[in-house]
Structures are given as structure tokens and as C-alpha cells.
């Protein structure tokens, strides 16, 4: 029919660019047989119109249109070719970059600019191999790791609160657990300024307020206690059995870093070192392991897991590196026992004389006599009441020959304050040499004479 012919021509001719819905609507409004055509070629929405009803533009938007052939425009073809070409270039370029990155790493792009200096480097981290017993070596001694894991719980960190500090601690230190019910040994210089309290921090993070049981500044030993039970006390070894070159591990709180581990070797044994607030030398082990402020009061372990020394930064050398000291356990033993029992330390015997050693080899070179040359005499001691003078040479104490400066403290340690001592003295003058004996009482190292209570 003419209506069908007109619709076909308008959809295939120059008006193909028009909306087919608008064209169909226009033709339908001008054709008398539009209803018959619509029913034949279009799917009507259910209930959309009644028979022979002329519809408006909204009707055509709800129908399904038949397929209409449309010739592609030439410019659309060119556009598709360009777009496809660009897509292919991007796709191939991306694939090339991915291949380069996979082969040479992420730095391949910057390599093109910088000349190949950069490349992604993935450092692999391997799991540590399993060992049968990595805490001990073949001889049965602990490794440093073994000391840290097995003995670490016996060492505590100490926070010191002085008069100037109420919230934040102003000092740090360390301590060694010596009993399951909370007794801890440390250095006297660590706790002597704790006017506002001491906080002990265990290796597992538990915190306790500590009270001072006793302190002895002369030996730099102190004992404190925390209200805890079932603690792991350290095992103390015989420091007289320590050998030069023996491996040791120190555990403490240097610079506030809790439970730090350092390792070294014993550089010297029975070093006589005088604590800061004392005139009495104490026996120490010299070690090259790092000992810094905060380590004071911590433990020096041998590789059997035994404490052989109490580290002290106050005894460390400030002029030389790699020289640290720990008070020997044999030196600290009697002091700890006294502090635990009475809170104080019984006075130790003191001669009140400072010597310079003249060995036999030195005596041969200088044509002198071996012995101990007197350098100073403490005026508060009983020896000051004798005829002893500076420059005199002591050769015997109670009949025992002495020409090593270490012989004197070893001999005096066996005696008590108030015991009498007789020294043989040689005094050389320009004309002659005079020999004589002097007798005096040993002093308490707190500078007091022990009164004779016998009738």
C-alpha cells in the first residue's frame, strides 16, 4: 500500500538520519489506514490503544520497531579504523611494558632515561633453620640466645623517681632477682636517690612498686623487695673460678631499653675498683661488653647461666672504650646477706694506708727493696698515731711478706675491725736505713674505731 511504500522510502533515503519513531508517527497521523499497518508491522503494547484510534508521539515510544537496514556512513568507518588502531597501539604498548617489567623490574622505565642504573630488587628472607637445641652448644653451655631466653626472666628493669620526678622517672637501672618472693639485688647508686619510689618491671611486663631493704654505698650494693611470688631467681656462681677470655653475657636496661643483651669476654679478674662514694676498693671483673647507664645493677652471666658479677656503669672507665666492670659475686655475697638480715652491713676492716707497689723486678732496676711504699695515711685511722711516715716501705704484715698491692686487701679481708696489725717498716735516709715495727688497730671502713668491751 502507499503508506507502506512511503514509510520504506523515508527510512532508507535522505531522511535516514531522522528518528524512525518520529517519522513513523508523522506518517501514521496522515494515513487513514495507519491502524491496519500498525497492527501488521508493530507489536502493540497491551491495552495501549483502541481500534482505529489515532495515537500521538508517546505511543510510538512504547512499541517494538522492525529491523531497518541502514547504510554505514563513510566517516564512521574511518573513525572506527582510527579508534581500533589507537586501541591496538595502546594494547601492544602495555603488553610490551609488562613484559619489560617482568624481565627487568620496575626500574626499566627510569633506565631508559638514566641509562640503566635502576632496577627492582626483591631481597628474599629465608626462615631460620631448625636446630636440635639452639639454646646450647656442643659442650652443653648456653648460647647468647639461650642466656637471654633462660636467664632473662631473672633480671628486672628499675624506674627511679627522685624528688624532682613524680610522674616520669628520672633514672633507670637494673636488678637481679635473688629469691622467689621478690628480693632483688642492685647497685646502691641506682636506688639512693629514689625519694619518690622505685618501680620494678619484670621481663613479662608486670610492674611492682619496690621498697628498699638495705643499701651499702661503700660496696655499691643494695637490696630491694617487690610484693610478688613465684619469681625465677638467678643462680649465682663462684666468681673465683672465672677465667680470662671466658665468654659472658650482660643483661640490663641501658639508656632505658629494657632487657637488652650484650656479649663480651672477661678482660681481667679481681680488679680492685673504688666506688664513687667509697674509699674501699671492691673486687671486680673487667669485661669488654658494653656497660652503659641503665646497666647498673644488672647481671653478668657466664655461659652456664650463672651470675658471676653485678654490672655497674659507675665503675666503667670514662676515658677509654671497651672497659666495663662488674662487682664479683664473691665480693657481693656477704654484703647481700648482711643487707637481707639486718638492712645494714657490718663494718669491714680498713688499714687507712694508700700504697705504691715496688716489685722485685722494679727493686732490682732501682736498687731498692721490694715492698709497699706508703703514699698517704688517713688521719682518722689509728695508723696515724704510729711513727709511720710518707715514703716508708712496708715489707711484712703480721710476719707475712707483702710485695704485691693485691696482697693487702686479701689479707685484711680475713680480719675484723679492731684487730691489731703489726707491720715491719724500712725507712731510708740519705745516710742510713732504719728498720722498725709499728702496731695499730684496723679501722671500721665507716671511719670508726671498735671499742674494746672487755673488762
Sign of CA dihedral 355, 361, 366, 369: positive
Catalytic residue (choose from 189, 260, 382, 424): 189
Q: Which cell goes with 36? A: 491496519
Pairing relationship of beta strands 235-236 and 306-312 according to DSSP bridges = parallel
> Does 189 participate in catalysis according to the annotation?
yes
Phi, psi of 414 (to 5 degrees): -80, -5
**Residue in the block written with cell 541502514:** 70
Catalytic residue (choose from 34, 38, 203, 220): 220
Q: Which cell goes with 166? A: 613524680
Q: Which cell goes with 147? A: 642466656
d(CA 194, CA 201): 16
d(CA 40, CA 21): 16
d(CA 300, CA 336): 17
> Does 220 participate in catalysis according to the annotation?
yes
Provide the 10 A C-beta neighbour count for residue 397. 19
What does 301-344 look like in DSSP terms, one character per residue?
EETTSEEEEEEEGGGS-SSSSS-EEEEEHHHHHHHHHHHHHHSS
Catalytic residue (choose from 296, 313, 392, 424): 296
> Does 296 participate in catalysis according to the annotation?
yes
d(CA 447, CA 380): 7
Q: Which cell goes with 284? A: 671486680
Positions marked catalytic: 189, 220, 296
Amino acid at each position: 500500500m502507499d503508506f507502506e511504500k512511503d514509510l520504506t522510502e523515508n527510512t532508507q533515503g535522505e531522511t535516514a538520519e531522522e528518528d524512525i519513531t518520529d517519522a513513523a508517527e508523522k506518517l501514521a497521523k496522515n494515513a487513514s489506514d495507519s491502524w491496519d499497518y500498525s497492527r501488521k508491522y508493530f507489536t502493540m503494547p497491551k491495552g495501549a490503544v483502541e481500534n482505529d484510534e489515532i495515537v500521538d508521539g508517546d505511543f510510538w515510544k512504547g512499541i517494538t520497531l522492525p529491523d531497518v537496514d541502514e547504510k554505514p556512513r563513510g566517516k564512521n568507518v574511518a573513525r572506527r579504523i582510527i579508534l581500533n588502531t589507537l586501541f591496538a597501539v595502546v594494547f601492544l604498548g602495555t603488553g610490551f611494558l609488562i613484559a619489560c617489567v617482568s624481565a627487568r623490574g620496575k626500574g626499566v622505565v627510569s633506565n631508559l632515561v638514566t641509562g640503566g642504573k635502576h632496577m627492582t630488587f626483591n631481597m628474599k628472607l629465608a626462615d631460620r633453620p631448625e636446630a636440635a637445641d639452639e639454646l646450647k652448644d656442643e659442650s652443653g653451655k648456653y648460647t647468647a640466645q639461650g642466656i637471654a631466653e633462660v636467664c632473662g626472666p631473672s633480671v628486672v628493669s628499675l624506674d627511679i623517681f627522685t624528688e624532682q620526678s613524680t610522674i616520669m622517672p628520672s633514672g633507670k637501672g637494673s636488678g637481679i632477682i635473688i629469691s622467689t618472693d621478690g628480693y632483688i639485688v642492685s647497685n646502691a647508686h641506682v636506688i639512693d636517690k629514689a625519694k619518690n619510689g622505685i618501680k620494678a618491671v619484670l621481663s613479662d611486663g608486670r610492674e611492682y612498686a619496690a621498697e628498699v631493704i638495705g643499701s651499702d654505698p661503700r660496696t655499691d650494693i643494695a637490696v630491694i623487695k617487690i610484693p610478688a611470688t613465684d619469681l625465677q631467681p638467678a643462680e649465682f656462681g663462684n666468681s673465683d673460678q672465672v677465667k680470662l677470655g671466658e665468654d659472658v653475657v650482660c643483661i640490663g636496661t641501658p639508656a632505658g631499653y629494657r632487657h637488652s643483651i650484650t656479649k663480651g669476654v672477661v678482660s681481667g679478674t679481681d680488679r680492685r675498683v673504688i666506688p664513687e662514694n667509697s674509699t674501699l676498693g671492691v673486687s671486680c671483673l673487667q669485661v669488654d661488653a658494653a656497660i652503659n647507664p641503665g646497666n647498673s645493677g644488672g647481671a653478668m652471666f657466664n655461659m652456664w647461666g650463672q651470675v658471676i658479677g653485678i654490672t655497674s656503669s659507675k665503675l666503667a672507665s670514662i676515658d677509654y672504650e671497651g672497659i666495663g666492670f662488674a662487682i664479683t659475686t664473691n665480693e657481693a655475697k656477704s654484703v647481700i646477706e648482711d643487707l637481707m638480715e639486718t638492712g645494714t652491713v657490718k663494718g669491714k676492716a680498713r688499714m687507712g694506708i694508700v700504697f705504691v707497689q715496688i716489685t722485685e723486678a722494679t727493686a732490682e732496676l732501682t736498687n731498692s727493696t721490694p715492698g709497699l711504699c706508703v703514699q698517704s695515711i688517713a688521719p682518722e685511722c689509728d695508723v696515724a698515731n704510729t711513727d709511720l711516715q710518707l715514703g716508708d716501705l712496708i715489707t711484712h704484715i703480721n710476719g707475712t711478706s707483702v710485695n704485691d698491692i693485691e696482697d693487702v686487701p686479701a689479707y685484711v679481708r680475713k680480719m675484723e675491725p679492731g684487730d691489731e696489725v703489726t707491720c715491719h717498716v724500712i725507712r731510708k735516709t740519705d745516710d742510713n736505713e732504719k728498720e722498725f715495727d709499728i702496731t695499730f688497730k684496723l679501722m671500721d671502713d665507716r671511719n670508726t674505731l671498735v671499742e674494746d668491751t672487755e673488762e
